Chains A and B, each alone.
Chain A
C-alpha cells in the first residue's frame, strides 16, 4: 500500500498559540466548539483529535496569568462525550504518568477505548515539578531524573491490565494490586503516544509508543529525529516502522503565497501582544516590568538572580538554569538588531515551526516529507479555533487527496487501523511481577 499521511489535531486549550482575539474565534471552552471541531475533523478523515493536559492554571509572578486562553476539561471525560457524537475519529487524551494513580488511569483509558469502539489513545506525559504537584495528594515527590522510570512502570501496569492480567507491584515508584474490570476494545488496547523530546522521553517512545508527537517539523530536524528514533527502536528489537512519527506543527493557508504570509504575520503579531511580551520578560526578570513600553528597548534594570519557576507551565529542561546568561544573550541580540521588547520576544519564544502557503504548496511540501520517510504525518496545533480547522478540512485535505497521499474514506473503525499499525502483540502471560 502506498504510504499516506496521518493527521491529528492537538486542541491545546492553554497558551499563546490560540489567537482568542480573532473576532471569529469560538469560545474554546464551550462543548459546542469541541463538538464542531471533532465532527469537522471527522469529515476531514483525520486520524485523531488530541486534548492537551496541564494540571495547574498558569501564573505570572504569583498571580493567575490572564493573557492567554485558559480553561480545560478533564480530557478523558471530554473525549467520552465526543465519542458519543462521532463515529470514527481517534480520541487521544494527554495524561500525566506522575499525578495519576496507574490502575485508575489505565481503567479510565480502557473505558474510553471500549465505549468508543476502539478509538482511544493515551499521550503519555510526565511532570516532575512540585508546583503542579501542589494540586495532588503526593505533590512534588518524584525527582526529575526518575520521572520516566515511573512513567515506564505506569505504562507496564497499564499494558498488563489491558491485556486482561491482574497486576501486583510493590516498589518505591509504583505500589498497587489491581485487576481488569472490563474486556478489551476492538483495537486491543489504547494506542500509546509519546511527546517528550529528552533522551528519557525518546527511550520511552522507542520502548512503548505506537506514535510519537515529536517537536521537529522542519525537514532537517524531522530527518534527524526519525534517524535517532529508528536507532533507538532497533535497540529495543522493534521494526523501524513500528512507530508513526507525527511532528507537531501549524498551518496557515492562503489563496496566494502572499496572502498566506500576510495571515501568518498577523497571527504572529496577535500571539505576541505587548502585554504578553512584557509578561514573558517578567517571568525571566522576576520583577514587575509593566511600566516598560513593549515597543521600546529591553529593560535596563537587572533581573533577580533566582532561577525561573515553572508557574507559566512546565519549562523545557534547558530553560531551568542559566537564566542570567540567557538574558545577557538577548541583550546582545536586541542591541545588534535594534529589537524592541516585542520583536525580541517574537524572535526567542519557542514555537512549532509552521507551514505557510497555498493548499497546493503545503500539500506538495508534505508529499515530499512523506515520500522521503522523514514523517508519517503531522499533528496540527490550530491558532484559530475553529477557522484553522475548517480551512484545513475544506482546502488542504482535498489537495492532499488529489496527490494520492491522503485517504478518501476511513477504511477501518479503530484508531489503530487508521494509523496502519499492526495488531497489538499478545502480551506474554507473566507471573505476578514484583519490582
Chain B
C-alpha cells in the first residue's frame, strides 16, 4: 500500500460511525511558522499570501484539515492562530481549519466565541486543537503562574467542558423571526449554562448562535488527560498502537497519529537534516526519508489509527512534495461540507434541546 491507498477524506458512507474506527484514513497537516524543524527558516512567515497559498495547496491535494499552531511568546508565536484561521475562512472551501487556542492563557468565553465564529464563517469547517501552554513565560502574559499537573488537567477539562456547553447554549432553531409576535428569538431555546469549574464560572449563554457543526471538532493530545472529551485524540510515541487503543477505550471517537516528516527533495533527506541542525526528539513519530517510505509508514499506521497529522519539517519544501503526491494518487475530496462530515463524526444533539 502506498500513499495512494490513503485517500484524504473519509466519506460518511464509507465508515462505521463514531463507535468504531473509520475504514479509510484522513490526513491533517500542521502549518505554523516555517515548519516543525527548529532550524527551518522562511522569509514569508508573516505574509498572508503565503499562508493562503499553502492552505490552497493542501486543500487541492485533498487534506482533510490544516492545523495552525500558536504560542503567546515571540518564538513560535507569530500572528494569533485564531486570526490566521479567520483570514483563511473564505479563501478555502472544503478543508477544515483548526487553530490551536491555549486554555491557560484565554478567557474561556472568548475562546468559545472565537471558535463558534470561525465555524459560522467557514460553513462548518472549524476545529480546535486544544493547547495547554504552561511555561512561566507564556503564563506571565496573562499574569498567571504555571499550574501543577493536576490543576492543569482540571483547567483543560473545565475549559473544554464550558466551551462545549456554550456551543449548545443556543438551540439550532433559536432564531425564529416571528413577525406577528414581534419575537426575533425564542427565549426558551437560548440557555444559561451556569457552569462552575474549579477556578472559574461562566453563566452564558454564548453571544453567538450555535455553530453549524453543533460542536466544533475538538482535537487534542492524549497526554492532556481529557481524552474522553475530545473528538480526535492525537497520539504519538513509540507505543502509538497501545496509546491509540487506550484513547479509544477512554472514549475518543477518532484517533490521529502525530508524524513529523522530512522528505527527500533536491537533496536527500539525511543531507537536509544535517544542514538544518539538531532536531530535538518530541513525542511525535518522525519520518526522515522518501515519500514511498512515508507511504509505507502511513500504511502501517492505518491499522491502528483513523488518520495522521503530518508536521512538515520545512513547509516550503515538504508541503509541496506531500501535496503533489497526494493530488496525483489520491481519490480527491469526499463530499463535506462540514469537517464533521469529512471525519465521519455525527452532528451532536444539543444537551439543552427541549424539542426533537
Contacts and interface: CB of A to CB of B under 8 A. Distances in A.
B303 interface: no
A290 to B, nearest CB: 12
A182 interface: yes
B89 A84 contact: yes
B223 interface: no
Interface stretch (A111-119, A223-231, A328-336): A111-119
Given A55-B109, A57-B205, A84 B183 contact: no
A177 B105 contact: no
A135 B204 contact: yes
B224 to A, nearest CB: 20
Interface in A129-156: 134-137, 139
B69 interface: no
Interface residues of B, number: 63
B140 A108 contact: no
A108 B116 CA distance: 17
Contact of A108 (B82, B89, B184): B82
Contacts of B187: 63-66
Interface string A3-42: 0000000000000000011000001011100010000000
B183 A81 contact: no
Interface string A256-293: 00000000000000000111100000000000000000
Contact of A181 (B77, B108, B183, B190): B77
Interface stretch (B10-18, B194-202, B283-291, B306-314): B194-202
Given A29-B120, A104-B106, A67 B184 contact: yes
Given A29-B120, A64-B205, A84 B88 contact: yes
Contacts of A121: none
A370 interface: no
Contact of B179 (A21, A72, A136): A21
Contacts of B190: 57, 64, 70
Contacts of A137: 107-108, 199-200
B174 to A, nearest CB: 8
Contacts of A79: 86
A12 B123 CA distance: 22
Interface stretch (A95-103, A193-201, A212-220, A348-356): A95-103
B83 A112 contact: yes
Given A68-B184, A81-B90, A134-B201, A29 B175 contact: yes
Interface string B70-113: 01111001111011111111110000000000000111111001
Contacts of A74: 110, 113-114, 116-117, 208
Interface of B: 46, 48, 52, 71-74, 77-80, 82-91, 105-110, 113-114, 116-118, 120-121, 123, 137, 140-143, 170, 175, 177, 179, 181-187, 190, 199-209
7 contacts: A21-B182, A80-B85, A80-B87, A100-B107, A101-B105, A101-B141, A137-B108
Interface of A: 20-21, 27, 29-31, 35, 54-57, 63-74, 76-81, 83-85, 99-101, 103-104, 107-108, 110-112, 114-115, 117, 134-137, 139, 174-183, 273-276
